[in-house]
Structure 1
């Protein structure tokens, strides 16, 4: 343990925990629109200046709240075929959906730019664009190298990876939120095999 860790003010940990708890609650209750800086400070009882010591902007606060609610998937290890790694990712996503279907849907729709109407204000557009970058970094990144390896025809464009991710995750979301059919191993394996056959 370093000297810095020994001298850390415990009030910082308490204020950060209170801020995150408020952001998580607001995000769960009303989505991204409800989890504003003003709402979080009001609910947490933490001053705005203290909030900004922990989170320099609302996008970083919301990204941290998403990660509290739904930890990002770890990148698959290097072992196995691209199919094996892709299947591990899809199974991991299916497992998350089984525990928090609505929150996973919110994360993926935000990461895919499908989070509803485009906000009118420039500030809100900037906020959502920044949040989208954070979410892509945390939640989409594990898929990108595996998808790039699976897609035929050379170096894929970002849009190709977006479409590929949507083709894989969309059916999982549809099952979890609409049909309520299980995203079991057999379904995930068929999804991956159909995807690979189409893109082989």
Structure 2
């Protein structure tokens, strides 16, 4: 039974990658009408405005939910073998990613004139992201110390890269157009690494 649950969680992490990759497709590759055109109240499906208003927010929220569920499954599987410190970091990462879902929902569901909800969502998301990043870093370092380099690098890598990109941005260096992709690729690699690990599993997962 546990093996089935872990495989489902691994599949969800794979689906989260698909959601993220579609979400970062530049809007100029979607059919017209596009943002900047005259306001369209009911944009046609698969147009750039429809993608911006409806599809991309839904994909981002879905990806966040799937990542949270996948990381929760990883924690459930490996928690007995973790040290207290690594377990604490893992719980911080899970709490942070869960609250990120709330922040994302607040931002994506805010109306065009609902500035308060949008700012609240951004603040919640930013604080939760810091907690999640610190938690993932500590969680990943725990795996590295125990000899699991694949999971360790997958969990600790994205927070380090995100911190590096933020530092470069604060230093005044303009990020290229693909800056969002530079963040999505490591997150996708993490999801794929954790997802494949959950899918393959071990004999102990059969219990």
TM-score interval (norm. to shorter): under 0.3
TM-score normalised by length of structure 2: 0.24
Higher helix share: 2
TM-score normalised by length of structure 1: 0.25
Relative contact order (alpha carbons < 8 A, sep ≥ 6): 1 or 2 greater? 2
